[in-house]
Amino acid sequence: MSQLQKLVSAVWSYRIYTLWGILFHILTALFTVVSIPLVIPFFQLLFGQVDKSPLRPESIWDLEGMLNYGFGQMLNNMGQMESLKWVCVLVIIVFLLKNISRYMISFFMIPVRNGILKDLRNQVWQSFQSLSLSDRDKLQQGYLNSLITNDISEVDHGILKAFEMLFKMPLIVLGSLIFMLLLNPLLTFMAFVLILFTLLVVGQLSHNLKGHSEQAQEALSQLSTIVDRYLSALKTIRTLGLEFFYRRSFEQNNEAYYHMTNTILRRRDLASPIAEFLGVVTVVVLLYAGTTMVLDNTMQPASFFAFIFAFYNIIDPSKRFAREYANVQRGLAALDRIESFREDITVNKVLVDDTLPPTPKFERKITLEGIDLRYVDSDLILTSVDLQINKGDKIGIVGYSGAGKTSIFDVLLGFYQPTRGRVLLDDREITDFDQESYRELFSLVAQEPILFYGSVRENIILSREESPRRLFEILNQVKIPSDLLDKNVGDRGTMLSGGQRQRVCIARALYKNPSLLLLDEPTSELDAKSEAEVCRALLNVMKDQTILMISHNVALLKEMDQIWVIDQGQVVDTGTYTELLQHNALFEALI
């Protein structure tokens, strides 16, 4: 499907507004064309060429004769000054109606333009959300932000403005051409040839702008990625002395973007002066040819001025087209990037079946049966994993870094589809259920606490309904003072200590009231004091929870009903803390 067809399809959602907009486009074009012959009476009076007894022309297609006849009849009935007054009133009315119609075009087309942009943003965002984690990992930071902001703005400035012009320009040009043809076919043919030549020259100048625009938008996306990476790891970058590397990388990409935009804007701005010069050449040629016809008495001066006025109604849209063509190319490049992104997502996204039933409650057990997992372009991460989590169990997972511990969580949550095997909820595969409702069974506390800008209260409750009683109970469990609730956590929780951030994350996980609480190294990045505080908080909440926890903290592992020892993607041993300590050297080394 062409980009224009896609835009037409997008407009269909706003068809009522669009139909009204088209109606007023037609009216604007009609009033514009009607205003052209109204100048003839002025010039006839000015040049003293009024025939008060004109003969009615034999053909209604003799436009010049019909206009002379009509104005002559008016002069005979009303007199010269009264006729002039009525012509002036008619001109004012026509131009008033024309400008009212122009405003009504904007009134109805603004919701269409903004609606299409809103829909594009929603589609890009929904496509991004449908990505599997493996595909998300391959996506550069800053790319999505560039699509939603820069590229969609380019679509607005380029394609949608030109799309509006498609309704009005052809009607005005067609009406003006018909008027010109009826006045003088020879002059009209000359004007048409000259305009066509101008458009070909301008089109050739802007021919490569689409390709350059795609490169420039990629460069801008790369700049956004560099900024995001820098801000997300600022302390690490400064500690490792990578400031110069990031400064040089930003400057190099910024320099490339600078040169690309110079090329694009120079080509774009060259189109308008050339179009204007060629337009002047065209007018001069027509003035010469028309004046010759007037001197030869083959055309009246008033009709010639009306012809030039009609020609202006063609040349002005042509100049606007020359100015907008470069923007259209940039808009097309942006739309191509957006569509390419969405098509790639369509191929790679996690398919969601809206007809699937919601997930029932966790009644008995969750089973990982014969699970193999391989990420894209990687070796097997998990091999033949067979595990069972009974309701009420407290299970610990230990293993070296990279052994596959977190990957078990990823499979359990449905973030990655197993290469082989299946995950069962009470003996039914989780793929039989709606994935969003399935994940409502879980809460996850990661080793890196993720907080959002806002208060502690907002970070605990998120989008859920606030229950003061439940909130108070959870605060007591995880030892968060109630006077901390309205404290702003800052960007990514920087206004809180490490222990406070992790306890807020635990409180958030509990407030969701999950059937199964997943803890991924919740104390690994804390100092000894904060670790002890978080451990006490976790020990308080473990009593009534089904828990699966990755940890090497002895105090926490001792409270587990069972511990799984993972090595190179396989479960090599299971048992209680005491049992494993007695006979498993790997477990002893890990703790």
The reply to whether 314 and 415 lie within a common domain is no
The reply to whether 481 and 586 lie within a common domain is yes
pLDDT score at 100: 93
The reply to whether 380 and 506 lie within a common domain is yes
Burial status of residue 555 (CB atoms within 10 A of its CB: 0-12, 13-18, 19 or more): middle
- Gap between the Cα atoms of 190 and 198, Å rounded: 13
User: Pick from 542, 586, 544, 545: which is nearest to 564 by CA?
Assistant: 586
Highest-confidence segment of 103-107, 333-337, 343-347, 473-477: 103-107
The reply to whether 77 and 156 lie within a common domain is yes
The reply to whether 395 and 528 lie within a common domain is yes
Structure tokens at 109: 């087309």
Comparing 431 with 129, the larger pLDDT belongs to 431
% of the chain with per-residue pLDDT over 70: 74
Residue 394: helix, strand or coil by DSSP?
Answer: strand
Is residue 302 included in any domain, yes or no?
yes
Is residue 354 included in any domain, yes or no?
no
The reply to whether 428 and 528 lie within a common domain is yes
Among 81-85, 438-442, 463-467, where is mean pLDDT lowest? 81-85
The reply to whether 333 and 480 lie within a common domain is no
Q: Looking at residues 560-581, what average pLDDT do you find?
A: 89
Task: Give me the residues paired with residue 387 across strands.
Answer: 368
The reply to whether 286 and 431 lie within a common domain is no
Is residue 129 included in any domain, yes or no?
no
pLDDT score at 45: 59
Structure tokens at 345: 């997502």
Q: Which tens digits make up the pLDDT trace of 496-518?
A: 888 888 888 888 888 888 888 88
Q: Which tens digits make up the pLDDT trace of 142-198?
A: 667 777 777 777 777 666 666 656 666 777 777 777 777 777 788 888 877 877 777
pLDDT averaged over every residue in the chain = 77
Q: Say if CB 480 and CB 525 are below 8 A apart.
A: no
**What secondary structure, in 3-state letters, does 451-485 show?**
CCCCEHHHHHHCCCCCCHHHHHHHHHHHCCCHHHC
Q: Give the total number of structural domains in the chain.
A: 2
The reply to whether 333 and 456 lie within a common domain is no
Contacts of 544 (CB under 8 A, 6+ apart): none
Q: Looking at residues 543-555, what average pLDDT do you find?
A: 84
Q: Say if CB 290 and CB 206 are below 8 A apart.
A: no
The reply to whether 140 and 285 lie within a common domain is yes
DSSP letter assigned to residue 488: B
Is residue 312 included in any domain, yes or no?
yes
Q: Rounded to the nearest 5 degrees, what angle is found at the Cα of 485, between the Cα atoms of 483 and 490?
A: 115
Is residue 69 included in any domain, yes or no?
yes
pLDDT score at 4: 58
% of the chain with per-residue pLDDT over 90: 2
Residue 69: helix, strand or coil by DSSP?
Answer: helix
Amino acid identity at 325: Y
Whether the pLDDT of residue 68 is over 90: the answer is: no
Q: Say if CB 556 and CB 523 are below 8 A apart.
A: yes
Which domain covers residue 74, as residue numbers?
8-108+135-339
Comparing 442 with 531, the larger pLDDT belongs to 442
CATH code at position 383: 3.40.50.300
Comparing 549 with 2, the larger pLDDT belongs to 549
pLDDT score at 352: 46
Whether the pLDDT of residue 52 is over 60: the answer is: no
Q: Looking at residues 313-336, what average pLDDT do you find?
A: 68
- Of the three residues 302, 321, 339, the one that is the final residue of a domain is 339
CATH code at position 335: 1.20.1560.10
Helix axes 498-511, 468-478, angle to 10 degrees: 140
- Gap between the Cα atoms of 483 and 361, Å rounded: 35
pLDDT score at 523: 78
Is residue 352 included in any domain, yes or no?
no
Is residue 168 included in any domain, yes or no?
yes
The reply to whether 369 and 335 lie within a common domain is no
Q: Is the pTM of this model over 0.85?
A: no
- Of the three residues 339, 356, 389, the one that is the final residue of a domain is 339
Helix axes 63-78, 80-129, angle to 10 degrees: 130
Task: Give me the residues paired with residue 368 across strands.
Answer: 387, 423
Among 261-265, 340-344, 492-496, where is mean pLDDT lowest? 340-344
Is residue 330 included in any domain, yes or no?
yes
Residue 575: helix, strand or coil by DSSP?
Answer: strand
- Gap between the Cα atoms of 412 and 404, Å rounded: 13
- Gap between the Cα atoms of 563 and 560, Å rounded: 7
The reply to whether 78 and 204 lie within a common domain is yes
- Gap between the Cα atoms of 125 and 144, Å rounded: 8
Confidence class for position 105, pLDDT limits 50, 70, 90: confident
Among 130-134, 467-471, 538-542, 559-563, where is mean pLDDT lowest? 130-134
Whether the pLDDT of residue 542 is over 60: the answer is: yes
Helix or strand (DSSP H, E) at 550: strand 547-550
Cβ–Cβ contacts within 10 Å for residue 412, how many?
22
Among 152-156, 380-384, 387-391, 504-508, where is mean pLDDT lowest? 152-156
Q: What is the dihedral of CA 534, 535, 541, 544, to 10 degrees?
A: 160
Cβ–Cβ contacts within 10 Å for residue 246, how many?
17
Whether the pLDDT of residue 61 is over 60: the answer is: no
